[in-house]
């Protein structure tokens, strides 16, 4: 995909994340790999709900600005660490989906309790709470992503950030979006089953 089309795709999927209630306010960010050395990401301070293709910025594999009129997202380094760890990753979404956020706050990993999550997501681990936008967070997420490299061949990857939110990774941004939807769906299924007195073990 050329830069212009990929910018539109990142903006379109960002708006879908917001419209489906998977994030709120200016929280969350989406990115897509443009080449071996560059990716496109949402700028800092923009909501995923109304970001446009021309607002997005192009950054290098350290998350430093290459092209664009705005400051890259504070989580650009985290996205960079994921692309560095996973050469096959084509898209990354970070969001604050409400049910999954409950698991992230409680520091409980998501088990693949449904057929969909077993086949297309796998277990979603949770990393300890680390201040957002830091190199430390980028490094921790990059390490977990690297440990799941084999899974990315089969399906998307999910990671919960303690007390913060979720990260979904795909071979394409579309696959990352589906993974984010599955993360939230799985979290809701577990909470719903628990409300029925049948929490999965």
Site residues (vs Zn ion, CB under 5 A): 27, 165
Least Å distance between CB 28 and Zn ion? 6
- Min CB(153)–Zn ion separation in Å: 27
Nearer to Zn ion, 27 or 49 (CB): 27
Residue nearest Zn ion by beta-carbon distance: 165
Is the Cβ of residue 56 or residue 130 nearer to Zn ion in the bound state? Answer: 130
Pairing of strands 65-67, 57-60: antiparallel
Q: What are phi and psi of 99, to 5 degrees?
A: -70, -40
Name the token pair of 15.
């708006």
Element (H, E) at 98: helix 98-106
CA distance 97 to 172: 20
| Smallest gap from residue 200 Cβ to Zn ion (A) | 27
Q: Which is nearer to Zn ion, 112 or 173 (CB)?
A: 173
Residue 77 phi, psi dihedral angles, 5° rounding: -65, -35
Sign of CA dihedral 159, 160, 164, 170: positive
CB of 16 to Zn ion, least distance (A): 17
Nearer to Zn ion, 63 or 165 (CB): 165
């Amino acid at each position: 995909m050329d830069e212009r089309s990929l910018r539109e795709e990142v903006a379109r999927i960002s708006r879908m994340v917001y419209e489906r209630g998977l994030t709120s306010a200016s929280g969350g960010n989406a990115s897509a790999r443009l080449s071996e050395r560059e990716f496109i990401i949402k700028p800092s301070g923009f909501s995923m709900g109304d970001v446009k293709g021309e607002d997005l910025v192009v950054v290098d594999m350290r998350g430093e600005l290459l092209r664009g009129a705005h400051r890259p997202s504070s989580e650009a380094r985290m996205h960079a660490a994921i692309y560095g760890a996973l050469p096959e990753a084509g898209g990354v979404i970070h969001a604050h989906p409400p049910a999954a956020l409950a698991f992230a706050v409680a520091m409980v990993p998501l088990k693949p309790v449904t057929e969909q999550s077993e086949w297309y997501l796998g277990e979603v681990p949770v990393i300890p709470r680390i201040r957002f936008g830091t190199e430390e967070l980028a490094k921790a997420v990059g390490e977990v992503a690297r440990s799941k490299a084999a899974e990315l061949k089969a399906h998307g990857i999910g990671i919960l950030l303690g007390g913060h939110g979720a990260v979904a990774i795909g071979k394409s941004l579309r696959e990352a979006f589906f993974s984010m939807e599955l993360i939230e769906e799985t979290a809701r299924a577990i909470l719903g089953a628990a409300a029925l007195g049948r929490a999965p073990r």
